[in-house]
Homo-oligomer: A and B are copies of this chain.
Amino acid sequence: MSSTHLTRDDVTAAVLAAKRVKQLTFASLAEQLGKPKVWLTAALLGQHPFQPEDAARVGQLLGLDDEQVVVLTEVPTRGSFSPTAPPTDPTMYRLYEVLQVYGPALKQLIHEEFGDGIMSAINFNLDVERREHPGGDRVRITLDGKFLSYAWD
């Protein structure tokens, strides 16, 4: 029996160390694993479990040991920053600022179009792309989630 408990954070650190040494990008890893780029990056950062065969492949590509590979298959406790403080990093803060400025507008328009309910964050995917633009290239982020109607039974 292993004497200590390997956590998902430990494995995320090992993943990032291996990625640095091997000079890999998240995009290339996604391609090699045949996974969507945002999903794979979030998963490697500890936000999603891997299917066993995918975990094994990640282990091979990054040189993880067997216990680390098992940890990749377990459902993690999700969340990336404290819920009582916005992220201080400017790149992440801008996404948070979008919520501060446009959150209620999105709520109103979702209700106008679909009625009472939510955009699922579970039955959901996300993409980020570069969009060329003469005034400076743009980041385009697409959130796509199933509409869930409030239903009592």
Q: Chain A interface (Cβ within 8 Å of chain B)?
A: 1-6, 13-14, 16-18, 20-22, 25-27, 36-39, 41-42, 45, 47-49, 62-63, 67, 70-71, 74-75, 77-126, 128, 130-131, 133, 135-153
Contacts and interface: CB of A to CB of B under 8 A. Distances in A.
A147 B70 CA distance: 25
B102 A42 contact: yes
Going nearest first, the 9 A-B pairs with the smallest beta carbon separation are A79-B88, A5-B13, A119-B139, A41-B105, A42-B105, A5-B17, A141-B143, A94-B121, A75-B111
B118 A47 contact: no
Contacts of A100: 78-81, 83, 88
A122 B148 contact: yes
6 contacts: A38-B102, A45-B105, A91-B111, A94-B121, A136-B146, A137-B146
Given A102-B42, A146-B133, A91 B119 contact: yes
